[in-house]
Chains A and B, each alone.
Chain A
Amino acid sequence: MSDYKKPLPEIQPYSQPFWDGTKKGLLLIQHCNACDANIFYPRRDCPECWSQDLGWIKASGRATVYTYSVTYEGVEQKFVEDLPIILAWIDLPEGIRMHTNLVECQPEDVAIGMEVEVVFRSITEDITLPFFRPV
């Protein structure tokens, strides 16, 4: 039994490969084989063309910080031990934007446009969350 108390991602059948990937140290992006769109977050149907012929591509794992915010308070009790939390939206070269936390850095080190790379942290036996750290 895991003693992880924070919320786990609510995984859907069509996003399961993303989470299987993070467990193996891969950042996978859903890809439409019909119209070539990269899709985030994963869907059952391609939001561009409604094709169900969807596969996965391996992201480089590099990204740039689009924006960030350092949270000092106002979170649920289960997150309090993590404060301050550096929230960020990061842009992947694969053309998608993800929400994440920046780790292995201090709030004062963070800037918009900064280069970051993915780092995987296993939080339960089944779930590995992707975080990002400065390159």
Chain B
Amino acid sequence: MSILSLQNVSKSFESLKVTDGVSFDVPKGEALGIIGPNGAGKSTLFNLITGNLMSDNGKIFYDGRDVTRVPAMRRCLNGVGRSFQIPQPFEKLTVFENLVVAGAFGRDTSEAEVTQACAEILERTEMIDRANVPAGQLRLLERKRLELARALATDPKLLLLDEIAGGLTDAECQSLIQTIRDIHKSGVTIIWIEHVLHALTSVVERLLVLDFGRVIGIGEPGEIMESREVREIYLGIEV
């Protein structure tokens, strides 16, 4: 059964069509990678899935329900979590407070109910020793980990990761990949936008290629990377 299903979803900013008739299904428990050149509409696609943007037409189904017009806050409560490409922590709150706020409101429960879970998430994401530091003082890798941790605090069933590996060293990237693998193994469905291909292909089961707002390929990563269209458009190689 699919946890997420997009049917012919489109979005324009004035005359620019950023998402153009996108349709795809994500089965529950899958890890799906999304690639595409800059400006292909990847982040916009995430904004449509989280509800930060409303689609102009088409339908979005999440967990069997039509959520096309459901606001972002409600989708979060139903289990859509997201990390931003440019980390956006609540800078004046400590790392732990960032998680507690997300946990209490994202699960619609009290702070006391989520403190234990939040501490465990900090442990899993290797951020526990930074728990009481104001988020504004974190370094890049820590900010990325906080993005991930805070998204996890809302107890997502579907986790959207937006270029979380970009800008990290190889060693940092490897440990982040391991964390994401663990999260995937625990049963969370993941959709991951990434330019760092080796990071992506070491986790995802399928790859979706976006170009000018259209889906130009979806399937097993090896096949996708071999296809002539993808190589021409994405890698810029004349075949």
Q: Tell whether A pairs with B.
A: no
Interface residues in chain B, defined as those with a beta carbon under 8 Å from any beta carbon in chain A: none
Interface residues in chain A, defined as those with a beta carbon under 8 Å from any beta carbon in chain B: none
